[in-house]
Structure 1
Amino acid sequence: MNKKLKIGLFGFGVVGQGLYDVLKKSPALNVEIVSICVKNKKERSLPEELFCYSPEDILSNKDINLVVELISDADEAYPIVKRSLELGKNVVSANKKMIAENFAELIQLQKDHNVSLLYEASACGSIPVIRNLEEYYDNDLLLSVTGILNGSSNYILTKIFDHNKPYNEALKEAQDLGFAEADPTFDVDGFDALFKLVILTAHSFGTIVNPEGVLNYGISNISDFDINYAKEKGFKIKLVGQVERLENNKLSLFVLPRLVNRDKYIYNVEDEFNGVVVKGLAYDKQFMFGKGAGGHPTGSAVLSDITALAHDYRYEYKKMNYYTNLDYDKSGSIEIYLRYKNESDLSKFDFASITESYSGPLYNYKVGLISIEKLLQLKNDLRYMDIFIAVTGKTLSY
């Protein structure tokens, strides 16, 4: 713990400020923020001399031995993280999109330059899920990881189901509190959860999956009809990511809204909290719960990585190195609730079977079995159609 960490911090938004605050509450850690790189000059609570405006000011500073990357733009984050690793600097990042899209290269860079990249804050905020998957569940007994991975969407759904607020009002409240961005697409359409799920899949099963090939669909199309349907059936709707080990060394993964009943762990995960259920062959189900959005919860996860680096910790990627890699399989089927208005939209969904059907004056719905591959073919069009989809959970593990 006597190792002095001199930090170059990129970004001073909600999470950057949160990290600065939690660092002040951790005096035992031998850490100094040497410089903070931001885009624009403006009035801030910290001394002006602490800030810089060119990434090179941090990257070329030989005194800085740890780069903490907390900017929102994945395309801007990638060259910063890559160059830092190439220069022999350890890196902590919270950028799930950047990591998920460049996973294999970032792992190789760590090996090539004998450095460590830690990113606990990139998945599930304050929950130490990556470290647990890497260290505690470091064997081949794991069967599935399922959970609420996006605090912003969960906050919105809580306001809808527990406080009877309309979607737009709940979204605005999430934005005002800093849980959702001005453009909420990343959160409410399941992209944030998708990138987190890709990261969790690598640490759960040793398999790197291209995010573009994974089904994700969010809650932006939810209507009062869907909400009333769920309530009448005794469900809540949650945005859920799942990766599951199948037979014959195969994996299934997707992010979809889900109809969740009272006997499931995630039913009572509310507001900006995340909840992750880990299921194993020998230990059945274990549940992790914590805040998944906000500056201080995410900042605490960044702090955890900084503390780990003070002890020279690095991910070993044990599942990739010591166990048989599992292949991502798109051929499985799931049961979904599909609410639609136009028959032309319904015709695009090739159900294998129908278990429930309703036709009404404004909306119709069908519940039935459909292949993940069929849904993947529609992936880029789903959120632009006048529909809503939710997994029923009846044919799944959770």
Structure 2
Amino acid sequence: MIKIAILGLGTVGTGVVKVVEANTVPIQHKLGQPLSVKTALVRKLRADPYQHLMTENFREIEHDGEIRVVVETIGGVEAAYEYTRRCLMAGKHVVTANKQLVAEHGCELLELARKNHVNYLFEASVGGGIPVLHPLTQCMAANRVDEIYGILNGTTNFILTKMVKEGASFAEVLKLAQEKGYAEADPTADVEGIDAGRKICILADLAFGHQVDPAQVPMEGITGIDLKDVEIAGRHGYRIKLLGRCLRLEGGRRTAYVAPHLISEENPMSDVNDVFNAVVVRGNATGEVMFYGKGAGELPTASACVADVIECLQEERHRPEIGWSADTGGFASPLTLKNRWYFRVGTDTLSEALHSAKVLEQGTETAFITPSITGTDAERLAAYLPTLAKMRVLD
């Protein structure tokens, strides 16, 4: 019997227990022996179906020689960081879904894992149950990855989908998302693009081999999107999606950002709706490869965690292809990128600004799409015009 422990018994932690219990036969077939959860660290003991697993004492897990893998589902960076370090130093593999911890401290924790001949795996930190990190580092290893972009947050995608399909306002749909449990009481990390930003940092780290500091990455959410822009986009064959995007630039530089984009209805990404996520990886040999599925939720995320547990136990070696340099140099502002831009402005006297632009609608307000210009030029144009909305167009 192989025994593991869980740090935190919330939604994902409970999901891990459920997946292990529900899939005993296929898991045993892969490992050659049964897998069980021995201990779960909680802040406070409580009445619960899994109360028999609970402990408030981390040292019980840290010093238990039977526990070979620890699944960290606490979230945040304070306790999770300390406990992860101590587990790795104790010679235990660690698996996590904690995108903030990986984005901010992943390089350091991977190096600590290497020194202690164990693994630190985090497939569930990006895309929930969608397998994307493993294919990126192994299945696409023969490629130079030049770009990754995707819908990386289910909450914002649910809100935008409802705005499109039902004509509801952002505030109305946010309230519905909270009622359904898709959005937290404080939804800031989701709706301001912070959650997606952490995920695109992890993807960029792995794709480009250098640390991308989340503090350098511009993160714009969906709070400024007006129903008018959703309607205008729809009438002209576009959908609005919140995308995380990272690109390899000339001279070894790289960039990343999160922002709303207009996407043509001809792009498969435009049909990714509700709480689903999708990630597109563009390699120089494969072209674009798309990964699609449920990007969050108890069981999809837990499934990715347990898959990492199985890999740790099957391999029992450090995976050398998982890691990146701590060097944060070479990061360029995404304002240097060229895109077409969507603008909605509050006047129809725009002859100079509309030169070479594609006018979508004109009246007391005018909506148009510029030719390909840099983000810096878009900022200058926005300062010159009475701008009500602006966002990139994904070409």
TM-score, length of structure 2 as denominator length: 0.84
CA distance in 2, matches of 1:224, 1:97: 31
Secondary structure, in 3 states, of the residue corresponding to 1:260?
strand
Pick from 264, 276, 290 the counterpart of residue 273 of structure 1: 276
> Deviation of residue 390 (structure 1)?
2.1
The question of whether the paired residues in 1 share the 8 Å contact of 2:110 and 2:119 is answered with no
Identity %: 31
Q: Does 1:12 align with 2:15?
A: no
Q: Does 1:329 align with 2:332?
A: yes
Q: Deviations over 1:13-55 (max 9, x none)?
A: 2111222211112113322211111123333122x33211232
> Deviation of residue 175 (structure 1)?
2.2
Pick from 114, 118, 121 the counterpart of residue 115 of structure 1: 118
> Deviation of residue 173 (structure 1)?
2.5
Q: Deviations over 1:164-216 (max 9, x none)?
A: 23222322222233222111111111111111111111221212110100111
AA of the residue aligned to 2:14: Q
> Taking structure 1 as reference, are residues 318 and 37 closer, same or farther at Cα in structure 2, changes over 3 Å only?
closer
> Taking structure 1 as reference, are residues 354 and 40 closer, same or farther at Cα in structure 2, changes over 3 Å only?
farther
> Deviation of residue 225 (structure 1)?
2.1
Range moving further from structure 2, 139-148 or 281-290: 139-148
Q: Which residue does the alignment assign to 2:238?
A: 235
The question of whether the paired residues in 1 share the 8 Å contact of 2:95 and 2:308 is answered with yes
Secondary structure, in 3 states, of the residue corresponding to 1:196?
helix
Alignment of 1:1-398 (within 5 A): 4-28=1-25, 29=27, 30-46=34-50, 48-312=51-315, 314-317=318-321, 320=324, 327-330=330-333, 332-335=336-339, 336-338=341-343, 355=357, 368=370, 369-371=373-375, 388-394=389-395
CA distance in 2, matches of 1:233, 1:209: 36
> Deviation of residue 148 (structure 1)?
0.7
The question of whether the paired residues in 2 share the 8 Å contact of 1:249 and 1:326 is answered with no
RMSD: 2.9
> Deviation of residue 366 (structure 1)?
6.8
AA of the residue aligned to 1:154: N
AA of the residue aligned to 1:294: G
Secondary structure, in 3 states, of the residue corresponding to 1:267?
helix
When the two structures are aligned, how many residues end up with a matched partner?
369
CA distance in 1, matches of 2:369, 2:62: 54
* Structure 1: runs of 5 or more not aligned: 343-350, 376-385
TM-score, length of structure 1 as denominator length: 0.84
The question of whether the paired residues in 1 share the 8 Å contact of 2:20 and 2:36 is answered with no
The question of whether the paired residues in 1 share the 8 Å contact of 2:148 and 2:281 is answered with yes
Secondary structure, in 3 states, of the residue corresponding to 1:201?
helix
CA distance in 2, matches of 1:198, 1:303: 23
> Taking structure 1 as reference, are residues 81 and 320 closer, same or farther at Cα in structure 2, changes over 3 Å only?
closer
AA of the residue aligned to 1:131: H
* Structure 2: runs of 5 or more not aligned: 28-33, 348-352, 380-386
